């Protein structure tokens, strides 16, 4: 099965390198995606451009596929379920949750000169970054790509209720499955509260398991694809 891999803010497709190698060895076809504005040199890319890139990758797959979103890109994966529910066998969400219709995509940090740069590590101290050593932090920060304002401040538009029929795997790195269930049951994650099939997978990592636990993450994703 094709497994489309979409990184979160400041990341391009290369962040999936070790995950992709392990997924391939487990019998699936990894498709790491570099998003417009996050690796192609464009500072004018919009959220619509990123959605279009995701949909183009979905449409290029030979059959049903699993779409994986990390962090903010969980919303991009969910938008793929909204626009192509008949093509997606499953959505996997890593360390994040889909935004609701009408919400901004990822307006989390200061925008300067038309882009949202990586804010440094202080906002991520604690469970998010506890498994990153200083060398890895330096490498990630040096490679971080400022996200165009048109992406970060883009408005999410969802409209097809068939997205709730697409099975979801929620991979829980810096939070536990029990915490995620509590948030969903409390109504804090309305999109997942309405999803009909949500499974949970725990991974002992911080917010970037593709960097710190790539083989374990690949096994989780491959196992999810094996059940389809």
What is the reported pTM? 0.97
Banded model confidence at residue 21, pLDDT cuts 50, 70, 90: very high
pLDDT tens-place string over residues 122-176: 999 999 999 999 999 999 999 999 999 999 999 999 999 999 999 999 999 999 9
pLDDT tens-place string over residues 103-136: 999 999 999 999 999 999 999 999 999 999 999 9
Distance CA 207, CA 174 (A): 6
Q: What is the mean pLDDT of the chain?
A: 97
Whether residue 172 contacts residue 127, with contact meaning beta carbons closer than 8 Å, is answered with: no
Whether residue 29 contacts residue 2, with contact meaning beta carbons closer than 8 Å, is answered with: yes
Domains of the chain: 2-226 (3.40.50.1820)
Whether residue 85 contacts residue 165, with contact meaning beta carbons closer than 8 Å, is answered with: yes
Banded model confidence at residue 26, pLDDT cuts 50, 70, 90: very high
pLDDT tens-place string over residues 42-73: 999 999 999 999 999 999 999 999 999 999 99
Query: What's the confidence (pLDDT) of residue 126?
Result: 97
Distance CA 37, CA 21 (A): 25
Query: What's the confidence (pLDDT) of residue 228?
Result: 81
């Amino acid at each position: 099965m094709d497994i489309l891999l979409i990184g979160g803010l400041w990341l391009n497709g290369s962040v999936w390198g070790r995950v992709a190698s392990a997924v391939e060895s487990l019998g699936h076809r990894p498709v790491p995606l570099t998003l417009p504005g996050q690796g192609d040199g464009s500072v004018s890319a919009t959220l619509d451009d990123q959605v279009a890139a995701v949909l183009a990758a979905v449409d290029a797959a030979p059959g049903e596929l699993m779409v994986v979103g990390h962090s903010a890109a969980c919303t991009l994966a969910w938008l793929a379920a909204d626009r192509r529910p008949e093509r997606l066998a499953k959505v996997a969400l890593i360390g994040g949750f889909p935004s609701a219709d009408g919400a901004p995509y990822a307006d989390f940090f200061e925008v300067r000169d038309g882009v949202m740069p990586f804010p440094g590590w202080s906002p991520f101290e604690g469970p998010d970054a506890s498994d990153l050593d200083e060398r890895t932090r330096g490498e990630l920060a040096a490679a971080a790509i400022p996200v165009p304002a048109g992406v970060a401040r883009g408005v999410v538009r969802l409209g097809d209720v068939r997205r709730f029929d697409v099975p979801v795997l929620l991979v829980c790195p810096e939070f536990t499955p029990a915490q995620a269930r509590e948030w969903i049951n409390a109504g804090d994650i309305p999109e997942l509260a309405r999803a009909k099939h949500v499974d949970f997978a725990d991974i002992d990592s911080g917010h970037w398991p593709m960097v710190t636990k790539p083989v374990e993450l690949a096994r989780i994703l491959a196992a999810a694809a094996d059940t389809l």
